[in-house]
């Protein structure tokens, strides 16, 4: 009965980046929950910095440039952390039911 209860996370095919050497596209990071949270968090950081600089009566171009720059830096840092966690998980993921050769 074991072959009928294999979950994708525990099967050998659950490690696609290690077995096939494929890399996800750059836009696919937005489709994960962690990617969406990183995007929203980075957006809030950028807006907060832009508004904070606007309170100091700096020109609008400076406020927008600083906000966009900090958004990109924050998003890059959060995505790098996420990719590191994915890589660490894939290296430690063990196969519970390895494939057996067909007879």
Residue 23 main-chain phi, psi, to 5 deg: -120, 140
Mind listing the pLDDT tens digit for each residue in 45-103? 999 999 999 999 999 999 999 999 999 999 999 989 988 888 888 778 766 655 655 55
Q: What are phi and psi of 38, to 5 degrees?
A: -65, -40
Using a cut of 0.75, tell me whether the model's pTM lies above it: no
Domain residues of the chain, as ranges?
30-91
End-to-end CA distance of the chain: 17
Structure tokens at 79: 């995505």
**CA gap 16, 41 in Å, rounded:** 29
> Which of 43, 82, 48 has its CA nearest to residue 63?
48
């Amino acid at each position: 009965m074991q072959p009928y209860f294999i979950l994708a996370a525990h099967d050998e095919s659950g490690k696609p980046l290690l077995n096939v050497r494929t890399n996800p596209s750059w836009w696919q990071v937005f489709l994960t929950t962690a990617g969406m949270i990183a995007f929203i968090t980075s957006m809030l950081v950028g807006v907060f910095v832009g508004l904070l600089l606007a309170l100091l009566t700096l020109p609008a171009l400076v406020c927008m440039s600083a906000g966009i720059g900090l958004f990109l830096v924050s998003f890059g840092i959060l995505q790098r952390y996420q990719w590191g966690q994915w890589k660490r998980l894939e290296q430690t993921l063990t196969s519970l039911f390895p494939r057996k050769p067909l007879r």
